[in-house]
Structure 1
Amino acid sequence: MNYTKTQHTKPYAAISPSLPHLSTASKSVFVVGGSAGIGKAAAIAFLEAGCRRLALTGRREAVLSAAVAELKEKFPDAEVVTYAADVADEKGMEAAFSKAKDAFGGPLDIVINGAGAVPPLKPVATGDLNAWWSGFETNVKGAAIAARATAKYGAADAVHLYLGMAGMLFPANGAFPMSGYAASKLAAVKVMEYFGAENPGLRVVSVHPGIVTETEGGKKMVEESGMDWPGDDINLSAHFLVWAASKEAEFLKNKFVFAAWDVDELKARKDEIAQSPELIIGLNGFPRSV
């Protein structure tokens, strides 16, 4: 699914967090699902970009504590606050966002929702329906909860980045029964599209991070599918998120993009992208003149 001629699998110079124009030194950043996986990698990337006001949430207190200890060791001058909360727990997330805003003395500038659930890869007809539905609880309801919190506790021009997935765009494959994951992610990206349209002051972007097999979800996909997946470097997505939150990426407002796409090629088409319906979910081949 190429949109740019160059497709990346590893970090590269144009999205390096060390670039001055990508600096987040003046920004407060909130990472939902930041205790592990891509969320944690993103937290590190934003700290490398200069962020010194960072909030993380995670479901597991022990994992969250270990993550913050690691971050504080690497970045001792950063203020890192954590809150144990499930993204689908509205009261817990509300409290976390509220406390982060108070801790940082003002509204949040950048929110990354990296929380996600991969339900068992089972057919709709025979799989456990409650397990299947768990994907919607986390990936759709959780996305809405995080979005509502951004609208309430974020700055008027806050950036909200949601981690989607490319599999939602592929035709269904009976040999790879991932309806719970693909359908919930598809729904969530559409929710993000509405969220952005309803809150035009915010910049909402959905990002496919690539196939990151070293995360828990990635390992689960590999194990349950029995397929040999080519993995992308976790820092490709982390660094891309830093770039996507920058002013340089303002033209991606309300779009769905891949971390693998080359940002220089995207920038060369920024007017076309910003002023067209490209990179939003639609129906292929429709409408058609008949």
Structure 2
Amino acid sequence: MSAIDFFKAPKGPFHRSTYPFINPTRPELSTKGKTAIVTGSGQGIGLAIAKSLAKSGVSALGLIGRTEETLLSTKESIKEISPDTKVFTYAVDVVDAKALTEALASFVATTGAKIDILAANAGYLPDLTSILDADADDWWSTFEINIKGNFNLLRAYQPHAARNGVVVHTSTSAIHIPYMPGYSAYRGSKAGATKVFEMFGGEMQELGNGKFGESVKGFPFDDVELSGDFVNWVASDEAKFLNGKFVAANWDAEGMVQIKESIEKDPFIFTMNLVGWLELIGARGP
């Protein structure tokens, strides 16, 4: 079974690059008048998300990452796309709860507005090795960044969340596929982080490189712009029906809109659960 077969879209084509329906310049996807925070925004998917938000006209953008140089590079890219967007950079490690809290508080104080969109994209991929051969510190730092870092981020964000604010977590479809050697820390931490965001969503209602190496040789990678534009679409009113769901950026957004009612009616679809258990015991309750 190919990767594309495994992640086949529920309806519509499987995308590897961006497409018109999620184009951030669509009026329906405009973020004008809104503010956004993007973690891990110095490069890769985080950079693409920041660019997409700029294309959609976001008013103020907070860029968080560990390296000032890459953040400033992203800032220059944003200013070329959207000169009117106010851009702020914060060289902060998400594991540092105090610094992260201060960064978000500073962003809100400076812009005078709550945070409308939080793109939680920061993550870490350790050296790929077996559990027995792994460097213990490097293995555990993956959980520190991917889980604790996002724990810190959500706690720093909540006091500054705008009414109807949107949180988008960049995870990986790799948490669902069969065994791949060397990925215990990455896939384990990403699965844990996904459940943390699921819990946060429920709580809020009550108030998402070179180290891959040979293991993915020949694997078809996506155009990074696809992820950026998909996140911008997910943050729009058009995608509100996906609240609390785990969806792939490759899935056709328009196709998901077409089966919107089915998705809204099923609390278990597109979530991480024990597949088949409830059907086996004849129950569909929590």
TM-score, structure 1 normalization: 0.90
Query: Retained in 1: the 8 A contact 2:90–2:103?
Result: yes
Question: Could you tell me the percent identity over the aligned residues?
Answer: 35
Count of matched residue pairs: 273
Which of these residues, 247, 263, 273, is aligned with residue 263 of structure 2? 273
For residues 1-290 of structure 1, the aligned pairs below 5 Å read: 1-2=7-8, 3-173=10-180, 176-200=181-205, 207=208, 218-221=209-212, 223=213, 225=215, 227-276=217-266, 277-287=268-278, 288-289=280-281
Moved segments of 4+, more than 3 Å:
none
Q: C-alpha offsets along residues 19-78 of structure 1, whole Å, 9 cap, x if unaligned?
A: 001000011011111111111111111110011211101101122122212322333222
Cα deviation digits, residues 177-236 of structure 1 (max 9, x gap): 20100000000000000000001179xxxx4xxxxxxxxxx3321x25262221111111
Partner of 2:4: none
The two structures, once aligned, show a CA RMSD in angstroms of 1.5
The Cα shift of 1:150 comes to 2.1
Whether contact under 8 Å (2:126, 2:211) holds in the other structure is no
Q: Look up the equivalent residue of 2:210 and give its one-letter code.
A: K
Contact 1:157 1:201 in 2 (8 A): no
* Amino acid aligned to 2:197: M
Tell me by how many angstroms 1:101 deviates.
0.5
AA partner of residue 281 (structure 1): M
The CA deviation at 1:5 is: 3.9
Amino acid at match of 2:154: A
Encode CA deviations 1:125-163: one digit per residue, 9 max, x unaligned: 121111111110110011111112221111121100000
Cα pair distance change 1:224/1:118, threshold 3 Å: farther
SS in 1 for 2:164: strand
- What SS class does the counterpart of residue 238 from structure 2 fall into? helix
- Could you tell me which amino acid in structure 2 is paired with residue 279 of structure 1? F
DSSP 3-state at the match of 2:211: helix
SS of the aligned residue for 2:205 comes to coil
Question: Which residue identity is paired with 1:259?
Answer: A
CA distances 1:239-272 after superposition (whole Å, capped 9, x unpaired): 0011000000000011101001011110111122
Which residue identity is paired with 2:140? Answer: W
**Matched residues in 2 for 1:201 and 1:9: separation?**
36
TM-score in terms of structure 2 length: 0.91
Mark the runs of 5 or more structure 2 residues left unpaired by the alignment: 1-6
The structure, 1 or 2, with the larger RCO (C-alpha pairs under 8 Å, 6+ apart) is 2
- What runs of 5+ residues in structure 1 fail to find an aligned partner? 208-217
Question: Secondary structure at 2:196's aligned position in 1?
Answer: helix
